A = this chain, B = another copy of it.
Amino acid sequence: MQALKDKILSEGKVIGDDILKVDGFLNHQIDTKFLEEIGCEFKKRFEGCKVDKILTVEASGIAVACETARQFGSVPVVFAKKAKPNTIVEGCYSAEARSFTKGTVANLRVIKRFVSEGEKLLILDDFLASGEAAVALIRIAEKAGAEVVGFGAVIDKTFQGGRKRIEDMGVRVEALASIERFESGKPIFTNDN
């Protein structure tokens, strides 16, 4: 998605060897006009796929999931929770995920009645790095007996291995911008998207 690559180059900021900050339009401040373009692009990428529900994880995945859900005819969105609030008193599917940016391990949870057997799930997130969150969401879907239509990330840092991990699980991956490496503080995109 060229508009995304342009936006990353003009507004993103590389920190150290592996962090790309895009908090000006995606995960702190959200450019809601651009968000619509992201939703449309995911719809295009997964055109022809039946999607019953979109699964994501709090917090940055929520905006992307809701906008994409609208493009799929306003299907429901379920976001996995990272902490267990005392309002959750019923059975959950859970799976652990290490947070790349926070250095912590979160136990992602989804209440059982919100993911059903045979349901066709599109899993979305803002970033795909080492794939920890994505793998945890796929595990949750598997535990529920749901079918994962695919995994979509706005930005994929391919060099961190997450994409390969998910594809090795047999899940289709679509990333709107894939970064091969950082060079002199700038992202170098792969040529295939």
Q: Which residues of A contact B (CB under 8 A)?
A: 15, 19, 21, 23-24, 28-33, 35-36, 58-59, 62-63, 66-67, 69-70, 74-79, 81, 83, 85-89, 99, 101-103, 110-111, 114
Contact = CB atoms under 8 A, between A and B. Distances in A.
Given A58-B58, A59-B59, A30 B85 contact: no
A76 B67 CA distance: 14
Contact of A29 (B31, B63, B114): B114
Contacts of A75: 32
Given A19-B87, A85-B102, A102-B86, A66 B35 contact: yes
Number of identical protomers: 2
B79 A32 contact: no
A28 B110 CA distance: 8
Contact of A32 (B32, B58, B59, B77): B77
Given A21-B87, A62-B62, A87-B101, A30 B77 contact: yes
Given A28-B114, A59-B58, A62-B62, A101 B77 contact: no
A104 B77 CA distance: 27
22 contacts: A15-B87, A15-B89, A19-B86, A23-B87, A23-B114, A28-B111, A29-B77, A30-B78, A30-B79, A32-B74, A32-B77, A35-B66, A36-B74, A59-B59, A62-B66, A63-B63, A63-B66, A66-B66, A85-B99, A86-B102, A86-B103, A87-B101
B30 A76 contact: yes
A107 B162 CA distance: 31
B114 A79 contact: no
Nearest to A84: B102
